[in-house]
Amino acid sequence: MNRRVVLIVDGQDQLRHALNERNFQTCVSSASDALDAYAASQPALVVVDGNGVPSAGLEVCRSLRAISEVPILVIATEMDEVDELLAYALGADDCMIGPVSIRRFVAKAGALTRRKKHHAIEPEPTLLRHGSLSLDAAARQVNMADRTVSLTRTEFDILAMLMHRPNHVITRGSLVQEIWPDWFGDERVIEVHISRLRRKIIDAGGPRIVEAVRGVGYRLGLLQPTA
């Protein structure tokens, strides 16, 4: 993966020009050809412009996240809260809504392409356990007993943070700051990823492991079976 390559899906020319001026290499694609373009370019970041057909942009997020952990930035002039939360649920790492500031766009692009290198919870060569749940930080693999739990990068990072501090409550703001360092929106977006993480562990035969602490944040829950 080339950290200076950005794939722009259905994007505006000014976005491409802004990145090119700052020494990024850019390639462009339609939503229908996004997977092929990703395979060919192996970019460090995918920018999805959802202004044309929003559903097409969301489908790109879903399809890419099924095969890759590449950071995805969604841009939309108009997007309501439901669509924004859906974008995150389908795999977007960040969203920019409304008139786009080119300077903020470039700054976000730079931060997202650097995230794997500088991320505070970048995997360490350790195996973390909580009951029958194990997390292999080096291999980025999670198992519930003998079953592999397939998580998105965001879900994995949330679980890693919680498992590194099993007896602590981690605030919602701390989770958001670690996962999305440049996030300026509603911190409640983390709830979507927490909900999906819980469901995947339950579906693998595990307990409702992430526990909400009202008004504070989240911690690893007691190993109580689900009803």
Q: What is the pLDDT of residue 183?
A: 62
Environment class of 164 (CB within 10 Å of its CB; exposed 0-12, middle 13-18, buried 19+): middle
DSSP three-state, residue 96: strand
The whole-number pLDDT of residue 72 equals: 93
- 182 within 8 A of 111, measured Cβ to Cβ: yes
- Our CA angle for 112, 43, 12, nearest 5°, is 80
Single residue among 118, 137, 168 that ends a domain in this structure: 118
Closest CA to 227 of 191, 210, 202: 202
**CATH assignment of the domain containing 86:** 3.40.50.2300
Q: Are residues 13 and 114 in the same domain?
A: yes
Please identify, among 118, 139, 158, the residue that sits at the C-terminal boundary of a domain: 118
How many domains does the chain divide into?
Answer: 2
> Is 93 within the bounds of a domain?
yes
Report the candidate in 224, 225, 226, 222 with the shortest Cα–Cα distance to residue 167. Answer: 222
Predicted pLDDT of residue 124: 47
Question: Which one-letter amino acid corresponds to residue 181?
Answer: P
Q: 177 with 82, same domain?
A: no
Same domain as 131, residue 39: no
**Sheet with 94-97, edge to edge strand ranges:** 25-29, 2-9, 43-49, 72-76, 94-97
Q: Check residue 48 and give left, alpha or beta (phi > 0: left; psi -120 to 50: alpha).
A: beta
Task: Kindly give the interhelix angle for 102-118 and 13-21, rounded to the nearest 10 degrees.
Answer: 60
Same domain, 49 and 18: yes
pLDDT score for 226: 45
Identify the CATH number of the domain in which residue 216 sits: 1.10.10.10
What is the maximal distance between C-alpha atoms in the chain? 56
Of the candidates 101, 57, 99, the residue with the CA atom closest to the CA atom of residue 78: 99
Could you list the residue range(s) of the whole structural domain that residue 162 is in? 127-220
Final residue of a domain: which of 118, 139, 155? 118
Residue at 64 is within a domain: yes
| pLDDT value of position 213 | 85
Q: Which helix (H) or strand (E) holds 191?
A: helix 189-203
Residue 209: predicted pLDDT = 82
**Same domain membership, residue 131 and residue 84:** no
Domain co-membership, 199 together with 141:
yes
Residue 167 lies in a domain: yes
Q: Which residues of the chain, if any, have pLDDT below 70? A: 1-3, 50-54, 115-125, 181-186, 222-227
pLDDT at 37: 92
pLDDT value of residue 123: 40
pLDDT tens-digit series, residues 179-216: 776 665 667 778 888 999 989 999 998 888 888 888 78
Amino acid (1-letter code) at residue 100: V
Nearest to 130, CA basis, from 151, 148, 145: 145
